[in-house]
């Protein structure tokens, strides 16, 4: 038996050993496999083996110690769960024998979750459900969930958008308070307009150009030729005249962040009585607007800008297809024959002005080249009937140039003020700067490639790439340099300080032209109005900007995933009728685990996975995969066959046709 001194020494030794073992706190990061990692606040990363990963969920904050494996590598051993990020999620209900599970629809929650008998809520095999974590795996060892609601079945009409709306927590119907407030605003519109002391521009031949079915019309255009170039006028709908900060409608618009557009559904940011009624620039209706008057030179340079509050009245609601037909000179087109004579010269001047604006941007800034888009047409069951390629026509480009010139002019106006609201784009990500500089130096023979980190340098390098390789007969570089650099760019973000939008090659940029569809545009309207009136204004908080960004990201992801689901289900039907068909596509994304291929004839994207094949080597600088003597890189054309499709998870897997 140990005496008291020996026991004390043993206790002290244990404490010393405990204190000598490194301990940290960090956030759990899942991977595509069973293992994971935990990242600390000081940017350290530690491995979580499959047994440890089974104890936690992605996003958990844990306390852990660091131990060495037999191979001498460091790994994390969980000691305590501090907090968990996982709570509610959606997924598909699965019955296997006597076991009931949920397959989560979540990017990092890649294991089935057991559902106890008392928590099944009548769900059946194959149902799409919303759920809640009822038992965390730490320290119990098995994660469990309860079913909150059966959302529907995969065959249901509009199940794709319904499911994604629930997954991304998008708002549905407006509350009774919001609807009542919207009705109250309708009754005071005339009074609010009168108080604003607006200029009367109702005699101007304004016209709108949008999709044929659109009713939430944000912008109207007018243009005339001058001795120096053009006088372009752009009128933007003005909901800020009656929607006040802190009102119920304002708070709900902030929560939504944007209108959400699905193939089979649309969720407006504002009630339709306002977004498609009182604020929409519908023809032959007097509407409050903010008008941007722009003097444009013959070479497309903005030489003067004036902004005012006005009352306007659109004289014509035109579609992109109709305007494109007119610009193409299709004189036998029924629309062109019926087009009012006063409108025709306006369309001609708008086209000429937009071409000059585009040429100026290509010379001094950056313009992205068009990419083929694909339109989904639905059948009577709400599923995809066919997918067809669509090209942006001259009318789309006309409107785009008018919107861009207004947005950058408003950004320049705000840049001179105390603060504004800008879309900031920092350019190449900091962690990719080294590889970008090395690539530029090697491929372009640029003496000071570090200038890619500046706005002016990035523009110069992109224009150098666009000009082509002077040593090549076809004027192209061997590597798709623009595509590689594009994949190394930061995401844009909102901020109140003036910072460049490097991706567009602009010293400042914002958006002002969609205030009935996007909350940040509504905020910009309020800022501009306050500055014009020399009125006090409150600085936009970081919390508001974060909320707007999150709401818009959720909307974008919900619409995209719903679209991908519909397309995957359609492709699965096509594959059943034509199994093993070789399909042509182009590599559009590359990472260490493989690459994404977009099919040429329908735009559907799928993955080629090379992670388990040791023959493949990946070069992060050139974003190139190599297998033996064969290389695969961005924008390369390849042949694939379909390996597997899981529509509900939007997963399309391809097998590469080599040789």
3-state helix, strand, coil in the chain (%, to 5): 35, 30, 35
Q: What percent of the chain has pLDDT over 70?
A: 96
pLDDT at 17 over 50: no
| List of domains in the chain | 20-83 (2.40.50.140), 88-153 (2.40.50.640), 176-421+512-560 (no CATH), 426-491 (no CATH), 578-656 (2.40.50.140)
Give DSSP secondary structure letters for 114-183: E--GGG-TT--TT-EEEEEEEE-HHHHSS-EEEEEEEEE-TTSTTHHHHHHHHHTT---SPPHHHHHHHH
CA 329 – CA 338 distance, rounded (Å): 14
Task: Residue 337: count other Cβ atoms within 10 Å of its Cβ.
Answer: 9
Instruction: Find tokens 């004390």 and name the residue.
Output: 8
**Mean local confidence (pLDDT), 13-38:** 76
What is the DSSP-derived secondary structure letter of residue 371?
-
What is the DSSP-derived secondary structure letter of residue 475?
S
CA 227 – CA 282 distance, rounded (Å): 32
pTM score, whole prediction? 0.91
Q: Is-contact 100 73, C-beta < 8 A? A: no
Round to the nearest angstrom and report the end-to-end CA distance of the chain.
75
Q: Is the peptide bond before 52 cis (omega within 30 degrees of 0)?
A: no
Task: State how far Cα 110 lies from the chain centre.
Answer: 24
pLDDT at 638 over 70: yes
pLDDT at 5 over 70: no
Binning pLDDT at 50, 70 and 90, where does residue 185 land?
A: very high
CA distances from 461 to 360, 444, 445, 504 (A): 17, 9, 11, 13
Q: Is-contact 48 75, C-beta < 8 A? A: yes
CA 503 – CA 459 distance, rounded (Å): 9
CA distances from 632 to 480, 584, 629 (A): 12, 14, 10
- Give the length of the chain: 659
What contacts 24+ positions apart, CB below 8 Å, involve 64-71? 64/23, 64/24, 64/25, 64/26, 64/38, 65/21, 65/22, 65/23, 65/24, 66/21, 66/22, 66/23, 66/24, 67/21
pLDDT digits (tens, 9 = 90+) for 51-65: 999 999 999 999 999
**Mean local confidence (pLDDT), 131-142:** 89
**Mean local confidence (pLDDT), 552-566:** 97
pLDDT at 25 over 60: yes
Instruction: Find tokens 């990963």 and name the residue.
Output: 53
Exposure on the CB side of residue 47, measured as CA atoms within 13 A: 13
CA 59 – CA 82 distance, rounded (Å): 11
pLDDT digits (tens, 9 = 90+) for 278-336: 999 999 999 999 999 999 999 999 999 999 999 999 999 999 999 999 999 886 777 77
Exposure on the CB side of residue 250, measured as CA atoms within 13 A: 13
**Mean local confidence (pLDDT), 211-220:** 93
**Mean local confidence (pLDDT), 203-229:** 96
CA 399 – CA 342 distance, rounded (Å): 19
Close Cβ partners of 398 (under 8 Å, ≥ 6 residues apart): 209, 323, 327, 350, 351, 354
What per-residue confidence (pLDDT) applies to 477? Answer: 85
pLDDT at 540 over 60: yes
**Mean local confidence (pLDDT), 522-545:** 94
Q: Which residue has the higher pLDDT, 198 or 300?
A: 300
Q: Among 26-35, 458-467, 479-488, 547-556, which stretch is predicted with the lowest mean pLDDT?
A: 26-35
What's the 3-state SS for 525-565? Answer: HHHHHHHHCCCCCCCCCHHHHHHHHHHHHHHHHHHHHHHHH
* Torsion sign, CA atoms 55, 61, 65, 70: positive
Close Cβ partners of 126 (under 8 Å, ≥ 6 residues apart): 92, 93, 94, 153, 154
Beta sheet of 630-632, edge-to-edge order: 616-619, 624-627, 630-632
Q: Average pLDDT, whole number, for the chain? A: 92
pLDDT digits (tens, 9 = 90+) for 568-602: 999 999 998 888 899 999 999 999 999 999 999 99
pLDDT digits (tens, 9 = 90+) for 94-116: 999 999 999 999 877 878 999 99
* Torsion sign, CA atoms 418, 421, 427, 429: positive
What per-residue confidence (pLDDT) applies to 659? Answer: 62
**Mean local confidence (pLDDT), 454-478:** 86
What per-residue confidence (pLDDT) applies to 618? Answer: 94
pLDDT digits (tens, 9 = 90+) for 414-444: 999 988 999 999 999 999 999 999 999 999 9
**Mean local confidence (pLDDT), 484-494:** 95
Give DSSP secondary structure letters for 216-281: ---EEEEEEE-SSEEEEEEEEE-GGGT--TTSHHHHHHHHH-B-EE-SS-EE-SS-HHIIIIISS-
| E strand or H helix at 462 | helix 455-467
Of 490, 486, 366, the residue nearest 426 (C-alpha): 490
CA 359 – CA 346 distance, rounded (Å): 20
Q: What is the CA radius of gyration of the chain?
A: 29
Exposure on the CB side of residue 252, measured as CA atoms within 13 A: 22
What per-residue confidence (pLDDT) applies to 11? Answer: 54
pLDDT at 16 over 60: no
CA 550 – CA 553 distance, rounded (Å): 5
- Tokens representing 435? 């590889």
Binning pLDDT at 50, 70 and 90, where does residue 6 land?
A: low
Backbone conformation region of residue 324, classed left if phi is above 0, alpha if psi is from -120 to 50, else beta: alpha
What per-residue confidence (pLDDT) applies to 21? Answer: 67
What per-residue confidence (pLDDT) applies to 10? Answer: 52
């Amino acid at each position: 038996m140990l005496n008291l001194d020996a026991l004390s020494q043993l206790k002290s030794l244990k404490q010393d050993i405990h204190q000598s073992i490194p301990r940290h706190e960090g956030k759990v990061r899942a991977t595509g496999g069973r293992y994971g990692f935990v990242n600390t606040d000081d940017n350290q990363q530690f491995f979580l083996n499959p047994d440890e990963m089974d104890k936690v969920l992605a996003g958990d904050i844990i306390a852990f110690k660091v131990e060495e494996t037999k191979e001498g590598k460091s790994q994390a051993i969980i000691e305590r769960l501090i907090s968990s990020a996982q709570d509610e999620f959606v997924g598909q209900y699965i019955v296997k024998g006597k076991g009931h599970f949920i397959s989560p629809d979540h990017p990092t929650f890649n294991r089935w979750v057991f559902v106890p008998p008392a928590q099944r809520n009548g769900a059946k095999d194959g149902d799409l459900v919303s759920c809640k974590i009822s038992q965390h795996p730490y320290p119990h060892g098995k994660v469990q969930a309860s079913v909150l609601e059966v959302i529907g079945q995969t065959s249901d009409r509009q199940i794709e958008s319904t499911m994604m709306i629930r997954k991304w927590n998008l708002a549905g119907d407006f509350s009774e308070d919001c609807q009542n407030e919207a009705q109250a605003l309708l009754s005071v519109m005339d009074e609010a307009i009168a108080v604003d002391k607006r200029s009367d521009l109702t005699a101007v031949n304004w016209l709108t150009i949008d999709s044929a079915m659109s009713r939430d019309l944000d912008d109207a255009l007018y243009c005339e030729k001058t001795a120096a170039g053009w006088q372009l006028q752009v009128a933007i709908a003005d909901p800020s005249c009656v929607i006040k900060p802190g009102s119920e409608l304002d708070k709900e618009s902030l929560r939504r962040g944007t209108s959400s557009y699905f193939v089979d559904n649309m969720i407006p940011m504002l009630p339709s009585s306002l977004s498609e009624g009182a604020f929409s620039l519908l023809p032959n209706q007097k509407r409050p607007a903010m008008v941007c008057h722009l003097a444009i030179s013959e070479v497309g340079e903005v030489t003067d800008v004036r902004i005012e509050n006005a009352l306007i009245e659109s004289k014509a609601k035109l579609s992109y297809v109709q305007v494109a037909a007119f610009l193409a000179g299709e004189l036998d087109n029924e629309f062109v024959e019926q087009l009012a004579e006063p409108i025709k010269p306006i369309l001609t001047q708008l086209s000429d002005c937009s071409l000059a604006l585009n040429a100026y941007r290509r010379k001094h800034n950056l313009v992205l080249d068009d990419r083929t888009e694909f339109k989904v047409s639905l059948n009577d069951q709400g599923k995809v009937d066919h997918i067809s390629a669509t090209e942006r026509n001259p009318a789309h480009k006309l409107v785009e140039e008018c919107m861009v010139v207004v947005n950058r002019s408003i950004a320049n106006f705000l840049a001179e003020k105390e603060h504004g609201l800008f879309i900031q784009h920092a350019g190449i990500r900091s962690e990719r700067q080294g590889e970008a500089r090395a690539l530029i130096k090697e491929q372009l023979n640029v003496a000071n490639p570090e200038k890619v980190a500046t706005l002016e340098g990035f523009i110069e390098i992109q224009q150098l790439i666009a000009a082509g390789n002077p040593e090549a007969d076809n004027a192209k570089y061997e590597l798709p340099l623009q595509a590689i650099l594009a994949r190394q760019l930061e995401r844009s973000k909102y901020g109140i300080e003036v910072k460049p939008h490097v991706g567009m090659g602009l010293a400042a940029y914002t958006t002002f032209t969609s205030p009935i569809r996007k909350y940040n545009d509504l905020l910009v309207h309020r800022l501009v109005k306050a500055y014009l009136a020399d009125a006090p204004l409150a600085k936009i908080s970081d919390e508001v900007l974060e909320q707007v960004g999150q709401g818009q990201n959720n909307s974008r992801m919900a619409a995209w995933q719903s679209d991908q689901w519909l397309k995957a289900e359609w492709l699965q039907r096509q594959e059943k009728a034509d199994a093993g068909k070789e399909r042509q596509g182009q590599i559009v994304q590359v990472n260490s685990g493989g690459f994404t291929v977009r099919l040429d004839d329908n735009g559907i994207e799928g993955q080629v996975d090379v992670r388990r094949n040791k023959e493949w080597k990946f070069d992060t600088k050139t974003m190139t995969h190599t297998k033996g003597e064969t290389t695969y890189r961005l924008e390369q054309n390849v042949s694939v066959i379909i390996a597997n499709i899981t529509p509900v998870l939007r997963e399309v897997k391809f097998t590469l046709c080599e040789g």
